Structure formats: C-alpha cells, structure tokens
C-alpha cells in the first residue's frame, strides 16, 4: 500500500510482547452449542484468504483461517494469533515470530514455519492474483517476486520449525496489522496443490470453524473446529450462511425467527420502522465503523484546481441534512479519519456549513457568478438522493453540478482515469482494511494512489505531506503517541488543501435474534464484520 | 423437413455467434476495467499490469475474442475472474434451479392465463369479462419485483402458507413461479380470450350446438382445442421473456439460478460469467423459437415448413 521510500528512521527499543499480556476474558455466561443462521444477498465468491475481499466473505475467512497476528475480539487492539510471541529489532526492520506449538490445520497436519513462508510467497506471487499483494510491499524481496524475477520472498526465512524471521526493506509501523489481515492467513501447501484454483471452494485453515458443506448459490455450513488452538472457543457448533437473500426478505425471516443475523443489515426502507418498535430496536446493536463518506474534488480539473473553490464547496455542503437522508445512520464528518480511528484529531471542527462564506470564497476566486461541473455517483439508493442534496447545496452558492449516476464499476473507472470533477463516494467509500490511520492516506489521498487507475480520485498529490506520512510510518510502534500525532498533522494538512469534502461517518447497525448472546461489541466488531462468529453464543 | 431443420440449425448457430460477438464487444467497450475489480482498491500498478497480462486482457479485442471462441468450441467457457472457478461448473450447478423455475412459471401462466381467458370469452362483454381484462392489464404491467415482494408478504409472512424464499421443496417453488408467470398469464388470458371468441363464431361450433351437444361439451371438446393450439406454440417464445424475468424473481426469492449468478457478475464486471450466462440464455431462446416453429405445422396443418 505504501510505495514511498524511507526518509528517516526512528529508533525504538526492541519489543517482546508475551501473549498473555493482551488476552481476552471470555464471557462467563457463554454456553457452548447450537447453530445460528446468517443471511447474505450476494453469493460468496471464494473463501481463499489470498483472494477474498468482499463484505460477506471477509469475516467468514477470519473464522476459517488465522494469521500470525489477530485482534482482541470487539476491539482494534492487536494480539498474537498463530504466533505465540514476536520480537522486533531495534531498527524496526526485523520481526521474529515464534509460532504457537501444536496448532493443527483442518486436515490434521501441524502448522510449521514452512507454512508461514509458503503462505506469504503465495499471496505475493503474481500468479495468485491476490488483491492484497500490495499490503506486503515492505517485505524484503517483494519487488522481485512481483515482477517475476524471484519465486520466493527473500525477506521471509524459516529459522527453526517454530520460528520465522521476516525482514523488511524499510521500517513499517503497520506491519503487524498487515500480518493480521486475511491476506496473511496461513494455508497448508498440500491442500492448495490438491485443489488448485478451486482452493477457494475447499478452504483448509487453522480457524475456529471449518467448511462442512457448500451448496452453490444456496448455503454454506461451517462446523466447529474441535481441535481449535484457542481454549474454550468457539461456542457455537456451527454457522449456516444462506445466500441469495434480499435484505428485506432476511428481515422478514428474522421477525419470524428463521434467521439470527441478517448479514447485510437492516434495509434502509425499513430502518425507521425497526427502530420505532422498542421490541425490535432492543435487538439492534449500534457501533462505529472505520468508514468515511466523502466527495472528491479533482484538483486537476478547473476550476477545482483553485483552493478557494474547494474551500467554498466544503463550506457549501450541509452535512447534517445529508445524514438525515440516510435516517441519521451516520455522524457528520470533519476530517478524513473516522472518530474511532487512532490519530483522529479531537476538537477540529472542519469547514462549518456557511453558504454566504462559500459565496465570498468563490468571489475571491473570481467566480462570483458560479460555474458548471459534474458530480459522479453510484446509481444505487440512497446515493442518487444524496447527490441531489449535494446538487442543491451547490446551487445555493451558484454552482451547477450535473449528476452522472452510473454503475459502481463505471464510477470507479471514471475516478481512476481522473475524468470526474467531483465524485460522491457512497457505495464505494473507504472502509479501513486495518485500524491504522495510514490506511486512509496512501491509496486515497497520497501520491501513490493518484496515478492512472488509482483510488485517489482527487488526484491530490502533495510531496510534502507524503514525506510526513512516510516518516510517521517508519516508526516501529504503531500506537506510539508521537506517531499518531504525526498522522493527525498529515490529515490537518490535507484539510488545508481541501481535496475532499468529508461528509459523514456511517454507523453500523447489526440486528440479531433474541437468542443471540455475547457482548454487544462482538456484533459491531471493527474487524470481523458483521459479527465475530468465534465468540458469540446462543442462549437457547 | 430435414433440409428445413438443417437450415434453421445453421441459422441458429450464426445467431449465437452474433450474440457472442456483440456481447463481447459491449463488455470490451464498457467503461469499467475488470482488472481493477480483481486487483482491488489497494493494488499497485505493477499488480494490475501483471493480472491484465495473465488474463490476456492486454491483447487486442479480436485476439481476445478468438481465444474465447476457440475455448468455447472445445467446451471451455473460461474461469470466473473473481471466483476463479470454471464458468461451466458454476452454470451447471445453477441451471437445474432455473429450468425448474421456468417450468413452474410456464405452468403457472398457462393455468391462470388460459382459464381466465376462457372465462372472459364465455362471458364476453359482461362485467366479469371487463373485470378480468383490467386485471390482466395490471398483471402485464406490474413490476415483477413488486409482485414478488407482495406475494412473499401476504402468503409467506402474513398467512404463513409458504416458506419465505429459498429453494428445495415444492412449496418453495409456488410463489416464485407465480411471480414469474403472472405477467405471461396476463398476455395469455387476452390472447386466449380473443382466440376463443373467434372460434366460438365459427360455423362448426354452431353445427355442434345444432346437433344437440351440451354447451360444456361444445366448449371443452370443440372450441378449446382449436383455440388453444396456436397459443401453445408461443411458449417457445416465452422462454426469452422468462430469461429476463428470472434475474429479478431469483433475486427476490433467493432462488439459486443463473439469473442471480448473472446479476452478481454484472455488478463485478466478471466477464467470463456474463458471457457464459448470456450464451446459455441465448441458446435457450434460439432453441425455444426453433421448437415453436417446428411444432406449429403439427398443430395447424395449414402452415408448412419450407
């Protein structure tokens, strides 16, 4: 994800974090047993952890596979996973992981350091076509494997059967988060070889559940992994995922007691009805998510190339009203980072809604009579309605925005090609891959994403800010206060240049059946979306 | 007959070739890059180019098309870009469900449409007739998405007579079949009505009445078969209409057919699946039309195949 080069080093003392330091206290009321039913509209494309990158398969893969790192359930706090402990060298470039003994794959074989090496080679080799390959760019030898001149990552070495050493080509504060991504899951070579391209339909991992049945287009059944390496979990005997279910049908079935969790959430049209009924509202868990919805202002297209114009648009948008369009399922945003992300700048108010001030800014730019531009938007509800609200807000300051409502893939294409003056990000908005502030910068605001086809649709590229970002990421401890302060500064600098209008941060609302037990945080888990299958339980 | 059949089969093959070419060109010029969909939002330019090269998407369009065709004639429909699974096996896994739903839809539109048409014809000009014709007009115009949800809400949620979506038993089949067939039943009721009205005016009907047959026997034995036959031949054409309707009905009812597969593939620009489903549907439509043309002369000897 970060393509920038190292410009400074930060010296940090070697860290050795024992597993016990960050353990999770199991729920004393949890009772083992029972199956739950979860529904999704879209079929599951694949359960291959190197490939899967969808809303619905992300948490499924998390329950079938494990990586060296993991998160404390319901939080954004890192904890060791298949690694029992790890050490980081003083220069922040060498990570030595000691593997947990006795961890078995679903096929019964014990996991070793060779599997770690194989899995990292597999996800980065171009033949795998992994959408996550770029996350591993800081591992030494990444460039060689991705251009085909090597077939293995030189930076990953098996030291002993239970020890693996990973050397980075530059310090990377996000590396431990990367090792907790699904893409870094450990897979057994023999199973991948056996199934080839169909491994995604026959997944074999070390996770809390294993795939028991998959009837294409209808259902997937996960069964509890009796040999799971974490004591006492999972509680459930299994999970049935029924696919092809419209969210509105899923809600009806939940009301009839046939479904426990509708994976796609509460349909917008039914939201007020559900929340207005106390019995149903009591079963809805609300939580933040690492999401920001924004309007991109293409700095390469006149007159959006003028700072005053971008500031004027920021001041013209009535964010409160836009959150009302989605029934208040969001909080107005002031900056690119969502409030629950480390590095968020508290106390910053952003650009206040001020149409008069916006007109003055336009006059300053010599555009007192306004101008005409285009607003691209994805064509599914509620996005066109949001685009109309934006259009009206702009009209009020004399700017005429024509709405281009297109299919998702076409908007992404127009954004990547730099053809779109303005894009409302709804339906394609950034949801963090991992809970670190850097994840909102590189691909969507940094120079790395500003090239042809990149996701930085503003085409905003400020080398000074890029250098600050690189410096922040060269620290070893991802949660060091100095590092988070640097990231806060990065986003404040970005806001000064106003390449985005941050509009809102969506809240998550997970609905569950009355029999579902477990802490609320498990139902709005920031990492296992929608819910953390490994730790929830049923009460009847 | 054999010469006719041969000519029609050649024509059909040419039509399918044309369909494949047009679909391929449309997908090629579509302003959406499948490689971006595979590579994901965090991919580097290098990753994107690697994938483009591996899939042969960096080749000129005609080369890509030729490769696709040469695979196709060997029975290889390619692999899904996103699922990595063979398209043929994905379609094969879902085709039975779609065929079942189509059969259900056809049965439904015939039973509802023909019986209503006969009733309307027998009471033509009266309030019942007018009421039925207005109803059929509503049935023809109602969006299938709305009809489907309405059926689900009333008969599955409120009354609990049928399961709320899903697949597996006969009970699962009923509501989606009605949702799919109701539009056709509107058409059929109107056509059946006019065919019936036409037949009832014929001399042989009067003769049958004159020789003292009961009204019921005249209608069931003499009028109905003659009115119904030309309509039966239209079922072949319905297959094409159903192919479109199935996309909607399958997604409302969670029916695991190829319509659902196509819909999801279109959203993700998964070209091999879109091509595969389009060709399978086009084949069904071409065969349906062919069947309709072959059956017609058996039904109506005045028509000869040349």
pLDDT at B189: 87
**Cα angle vertex A268, ends A262, A273, to 5°?**
90
Answer whether A256 sits within 8 Å of B80, measured CB to CB.
no
Answer whether A126 sits within 8 Å of B51, measured CB to CB.
yes
pLDDT at B306: 61
**Distance between CA A403 and CA A400 in Å, rounded?**
10
The phi-psi region of residue A422 (left if phi > 0; otherwise alpha if psi is between -120 and 50; otherwise beta) is beta
Any idea which of A340-344, A469-473, B265-269 has the lowest mean pLDDT?
B265-269
Answer whether B44 sits within 8 Å of A453, measured CB to CB.
no
Domain-located, residue B204: yes
What φ, ψ does residue A371 adopt, rounded to 5°? -160, 175
Any idea which of A6-15, A93-102, A272-281, A463-472 has the lowest mean pLDDT?
A6-15
Do the Cβ atoms of A34 and A236 come closer than 8 Å? yes
**Is the domain of B175 the same as that of B248?**
yes
Domain-located, residue B24: yes
pLDDT beyond 80 at B237: no
The reported pTM is 0.85
**Is the domain of B139 the same as that of B227?**
yes
Q: What is the pLDDT of residues A446-469, one digit of tens each?
A: 998 888 888 999 999 999 999 999
**A240 pLDDT tier (thresholds 50, 70, 90):** very high
Range picked from A306-315, B162-171, B187-196 for highest mean pLDDT: A306-315
**Is the domain of B197 the same as that of B259?**
yes
Answer whether A414 sits within 8 Å of B40, measured CB to CB.
no
**Is the domain of B24 the same as that of B98?**
no
Do the Cβ atoms of A382 and A426 come closer than 8 Å? yes
Answer whether B36 sits within 8 Å of A137, measured CB to CB.
no
**Is the domain of B57 the same as that of B96?**
no
Any idea which of A176-190, A458-472, B159-173 has the lowest mean pLDDT?
B159-173
More confident residue, B14 or A76: B14
Distances (CA, A) of A396 to A142, A312, A316: 51, 11, 8
Contacts (Cβ under 8 Å, ≥6 apart) of A211: A47, A64, A202, A203, A220, A221, A222, A223
Q: Which of B46, B54, B250 is opposite residue A129, by nearest beta carbon? A: B54
**Cα angle vertex A396, ends A394, A401, to 5°?**
30
Domain boundary among B73, B100, B117: B73
Domain-located, residue B130: yes
pLDDT beyond 80 at A276: yes
**A412/B contact by beta carbon, under 8 A:** yes
Residues 136-175 of chain A with CB under 8 A from chain B are: 137, 146-148
**Is the domain of B43 the same as that of B111?**
no
**Is the domain of B108 the same as that of B214?**
yes
Element (H, E) at B267: helix B258-267
Q: Which of B36, B44, B80 is opposite residue A137, by nearest beta carbon? A: B44
- Rounded to 10°, the helix B2-29/B271-299 angle is 150
**Distance between CA A167 and CA B41 in Å, rounded?**
26
pLDDT at B217: 84
Answer whether A216 sits within 8 Å of B94, measured CB to CB.
yes
Chain B CB contacts of A197 under 8 Å are 79, 84-85
Q: How many domains does chain B have?
A: 2
pLDDT (mean) for A164-173: 94
Answer whether A137 sits within 8 Å of B157, measured CB to CB.
no
**A264/B contact by beta carbon, under 8 A:** no
Do the Cβ atoms of A309 and A365 come closer than 8 Å? yes
Instruction: Identify the CA nearest to B37 among candidates B287, B226, B264, B230.
Output: B264
- Rounded to 10°, the helix B87-122/B271-299 angle is 40
Which of B33, B39, B44, B169 would best serve as a mutation to test chain A binding (most A beta carbons within 10 A)? Answer: B44
Domain-located, residue B6: no
pLDDT at B43: 77
Domain-located, residue B43: yes
**A53/B contact by beta carbon, under 8 A:** yes
Tokens of A375: 């607003």
CA distance B287 to chain A (A): 26
Answer whether B165 sits within 8 Å of A253, measured CB to CB.
yes
Q: What is the pLDDT of residues A78-124, one digit of tens each?
A: 999 999 999 999 888 999 999 999 999 999 999 999 999 999 999 99
Chain B CB contacts of A148 under 8 Å are 50
pLDDT at B305: 63
Answer whether A131 sits within 8 Å of B251, measured CB to CB.
no
- Could you tell me the residue range of the domain that residue B42 belongs to? 16-73
**Is the domain of B194 the same as that of B291?**
yes
Chain A CB contacts of B251 under 8 Å are 41, 244, 246
CA distance A134 to chain B (A): 5
pLDDT beyond 60 at A227: yes
Which of A409, A432, A442 would best serve as a mutation to test chain B binding (most B beta carbons within 10 A)? Answer: A409
CA distance B94 to chain A (A): 7
Q: What is the pLDDT of residues B24-83, one digit of tens each?
A: 999 998 878 888 888 877 777 777 888 888 889 999 999 999 999 999 999 899 999 888
Tokens of B93: 């896994």
pLDDT at B246: 86
pLDDT beyond 70 at A3: no
Answer whether A146 sits within 8 Å of B41, measured CB to CB.
no
Tokens of A91: 């220069």
pLDDT at A5: 30
Q: What is the CATH number of the domain that holds B228?
A: 1.10.3720.10
Distances (CA, A) of A109 to A47, A187, B195: 20, 11, 72
CA distance B218 to chain A (A): 47
Percent of chain A, pLDDT > 90?
A: 73
CA distance B149 to chain A (A): 8
Answer whether A412 sits within 8 Å of B36, measured CB to CB.
yes
**Is the domain of B51 the same as that of B153?**
no
Answer whether B255 sits within 8 Å of A244, measured CB to CB.
yes
**A502/B contact by beta carbon, under 8 A:** no
Task: Tell me how many residue pairs between chain A and chain B have CB atoms under 8 A apart.
Answer: 146
Residues 72-131 of chain A with CB under 8 A from chain B are: 126-127, 129, 131
**Distance between CA A300 and CA A293 in Å, rounded?**
21
Chain A CB contacts of B79 under 8 Å are 197
Residues 470-489 of chain A with CB under 8 A from chain B are: none
Looking at this predicted complex, what is its ipTM? Answer: 0.79
> Positive or negative, the Cα torsion across B77, B80, B81, B85?
negative
Question: Which of helix, strand or coil describes residue A138?
Answer: coil
Domain-located, residue B304: no
3-state secondary structure A332-358: ECCCCCCCCCCCCCCCCCCCCCCHHHH
pLDDT at B196: 86
Q: What is the pLDDT of residues A482-532, one digit of tens each?
A: 999 999 999 999 999 999 999 999 998 999 999 999 999 999 988 888 899
pLDDT at A9: 31
Contacts (Cβ under 8 Å, ≥6 apart) of B18: none
Answer whether A443 sits within 8 Å of B36, measured CB to CB.
no
Task: Report the residue of chain B nearest A123, measured CA to CA.
Answer: B47
**Is the domain of B189 the same as that of B272?**
yes
Answer whether B38 sits within 8 Å of A245, measured CB to CB.
no
Q: Which of B39, B83, B152 is opposite residue A200, by nearest beta carbon? A: B83
Contacts (Cβ under 8 Å, ≥6 apart) of B187: B109, B113, B136, B140
Answer whether B253 sits within 8 Å of A249, measured CB to CB.
yes
Range picked from A12-26, A172-186, B23-37 for highest mean pLDDT: A172-186
Domain-located, residue B54: yes
pLDDT beyond 70 at A335: yes
Task: Report the residue of chain A nearest B263, measured CA to CA.
Answer: A42
**A218/B contact by beta carbon, under 8 A:** yes
Percent of chain B, pLDDT > 90?
A: 28
**Is the domain of B49 the same as that of B126?**
no
3-state secondary structure A82-102: CEEEEEECCCCCEEEEEECCC
CA distance B105 to chain A (A): 20
Answer whether B44 sits within 8 Å of A129, measured CB to CB.
no
Answer whether A217 sits within 8 Å of B257, measured CB to CB.
yes
**Distance between CA B155 and CA B167 in Å, rounded?**
16
pLDDT beyond 70 at A20: no
Chain B CB contacts of A244 under 8 Å are 250-251, 254-256, 260
Answer whether B80 sits within 8 Å of A45, measured CB to CB.
yes
**Distance between CA B224 and CA B197 in Å, rounded?**
10
Q: Which residues pair with A349 in a beta bridge?
A: none
Other C-beta atoms lying within 10 Å of the C-beta of residue A471: 18
Task: Report the residue of chain A nearest B256, measured CA to CA.
Answer: A217
pLDDT beyond 80 at A2: no
Percent of chain A, pLDDT > 70?
A: 96
Any idea which of A92-101, A217-226, A414-423, B284-293 has the lowest mean pLDDT?
B284-293
pLDDT beyond 50 at B266: yes
Answer whether A45 sits within 8 Å of B82, measured CB to CB.
yes
Domain-located, residue B245: yes
**Distance between CA A442 and CA A420 in Å, rounded?**
20
Contacts (Cβ under 8 Å, ≥6 apart) of B3: none
Percent of chain B, pLDDT > 70?
A: 98
CA A95 from centre of chain: 24
Which of B38, B40, B93, B262 would best serve as a mutation to test chain A binding (most A beta carbons within 10 A)? Answer: B40
* Residue with tokens 């006492």, as numbered in its chain: A232
**Is the domain of B103 the same as that of B59?**
no
pLDDT (mean) for A162-177: 94
**A230 pLDDT tier (thresholds 50, 70, 90):** very high
């Amino acid at each position: 994800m970060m393509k920038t080069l190292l410009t400074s080093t930060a010296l940090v003392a070697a860290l050795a974090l024992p597993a016990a330091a960050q353990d999770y206290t199991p729920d004393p009321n949890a009772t083992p047993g029972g199956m739950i039913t979860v529904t999704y509209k879209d079929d599951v494309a694949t359960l291959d952890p190197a490939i899967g990158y969808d809303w619905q398969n992300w948490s499924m893969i998390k329950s079938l596979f494990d990586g060296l790192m993991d998160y404390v359930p319901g939080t954004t706090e890192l904890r060791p996973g298949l690694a029992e402990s790890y050490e980081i060298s003083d220069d922040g470039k060498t990570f030595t992981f000691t593997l947990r003994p006795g961890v078995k794959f679903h096929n019964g074989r014990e996991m070793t350091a060779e599997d770690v090496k194989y899995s990292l080679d597999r996800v980065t080799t171009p033949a795998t076509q992994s959408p996550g390959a770029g996350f591993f760019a800081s591992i030494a030898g990444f460039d060689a494997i991705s251009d085909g001149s090597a077939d293995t990552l030189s930076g990953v070495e098996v030291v002993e059967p239970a020890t693996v050493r990973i050397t980075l080509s530059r310090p990377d504060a996000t590396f431990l988060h990367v090792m907790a991504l699904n893409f870094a899951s450990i897979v057994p070579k023999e199973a991948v070889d056996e199934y080839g391209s169909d491994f995604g339909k026959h997944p074999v991992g070390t996770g809390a559940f294993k795939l028991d049945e998959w009837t294409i287009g209808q259902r997937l059944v996960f069964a509890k992994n009796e040999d799971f390496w974490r004591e006492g979990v999972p509680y459930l005997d299994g999970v049935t995922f029924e696919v092809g279910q419209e969210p509105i049908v899923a809600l009806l079935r939940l009301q009839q007691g046939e479904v426990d969790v509708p994976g796609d959430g509460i349909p917008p049209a039914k939201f007020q009805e559900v929340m207005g009924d106390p019995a149903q509202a009591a079963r809805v868990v609300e939580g933040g998510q690492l999401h920001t919805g924004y309007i991109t202002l293409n700095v390469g297209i006149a007159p959006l190339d003028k700072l005053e114009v971008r500031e004027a648009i920021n001041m013209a948008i009535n964010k409160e009203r836009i959150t009302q369009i989605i029934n208040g399922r969001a909080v107005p945003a002031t900056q690119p980072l969502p409030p629950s992300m480390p590095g968020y700048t508290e106390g910053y108010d952003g650009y206040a809604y001020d149409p008069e001030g916006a007109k003055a800014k336009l006059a300053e730019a010599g555009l007192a009579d306004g101008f005409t531009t285009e607003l691209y938007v994805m064509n599914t509800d509620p996005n066109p309605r949001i685009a109309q609200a934006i259009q009206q807000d702009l009209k009020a300051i004399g700017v005429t925005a024509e709405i281009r409502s297109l299919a998702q893939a076409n908007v992404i294409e127009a954004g990547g090609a730099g053809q779109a003056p303005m894009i409302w990000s709804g339906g394609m908005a950034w949801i963090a891959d991992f809970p670190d502030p850097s994840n909102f910068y590189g691909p969507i605001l940094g120079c790395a994403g500003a090239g042809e086809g990149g996701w930085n649709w503003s085409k905003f590229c400020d080398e000074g800010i890029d250098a600050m970002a690189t410096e922040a990421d060269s620290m070893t401890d991802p949660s060091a206060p100095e590092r988070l302060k640097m990231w806060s500064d990065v986003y404040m600098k970005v806001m000064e240049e106003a390449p985005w209008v941050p509009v809102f941060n969506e809240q998550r609302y997970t609905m569950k059946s009355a029999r579902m037990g477990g802490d609320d945080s498990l139902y709005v888990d920031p990492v296992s979306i929608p819910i953390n299958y490994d730790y929830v339980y049923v009460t009847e | 007959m054999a010469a006719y059949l041969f000519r029609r089969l050649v024509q059909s093959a040419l039509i399918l070739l044309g369909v494949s070419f047009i679909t391929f060109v449309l997908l090629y010029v579509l302003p959406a890059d499948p490689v971006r969909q595979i590579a994901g939002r965090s991919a580097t330019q290098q990753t994107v180019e690697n994938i483009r090269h591996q899939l042969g998407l960096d080749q000129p369009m005609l080369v890509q098309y030729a490769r696709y065709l040469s695979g196709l004639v060997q029975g290889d429909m390619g692999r899904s870009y996103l699922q990595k699974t063979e398209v043929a096996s994905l379609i094969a896994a879902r085709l039975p469900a779609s065929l079942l739903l189509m059969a259900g839809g056809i049965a439904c539109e015939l039973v509802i449409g023909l019986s209503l048409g006969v009733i309307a014809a027998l009471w033509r000009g009266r309030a019942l007739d007018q009421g039925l014709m207005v109803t059929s007009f509503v049935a023809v115009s109602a969006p299938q998405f709305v009809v489907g949800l309405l059926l689900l809400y009333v008969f599955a949620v409120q009354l609990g007579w049928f399961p709320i979506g899903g697949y597996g038993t006969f009970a699962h089949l009923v509501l989606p079949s009605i949702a799919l067939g109701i539009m056709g039943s509107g058409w059929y009721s109107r056509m059946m009505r006019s065919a019936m009205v036409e037949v009832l005016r014929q001399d042989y009907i009067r003769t049958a009445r004159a020789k003292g047959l009961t009204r019921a026997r005249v209608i069931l034995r003499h009028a109905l078969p003659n009115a119904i036959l030309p309509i039966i031949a239209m079922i072949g054409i319905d297959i094409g209409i159903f192919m479109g309707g199935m996309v909607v009905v399958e997604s409302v009812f969670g029916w695991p057919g190829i319509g659902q597969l196509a819909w999801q593939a279109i959203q993700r620009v998964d070209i091999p699946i879109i091509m595969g489903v389009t060709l399978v549907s086009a084949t069904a439509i071409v065969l349906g039309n062919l069947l309709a043309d072959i059956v017609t002369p058996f039904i109506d000897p005045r028509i000869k195949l040349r």
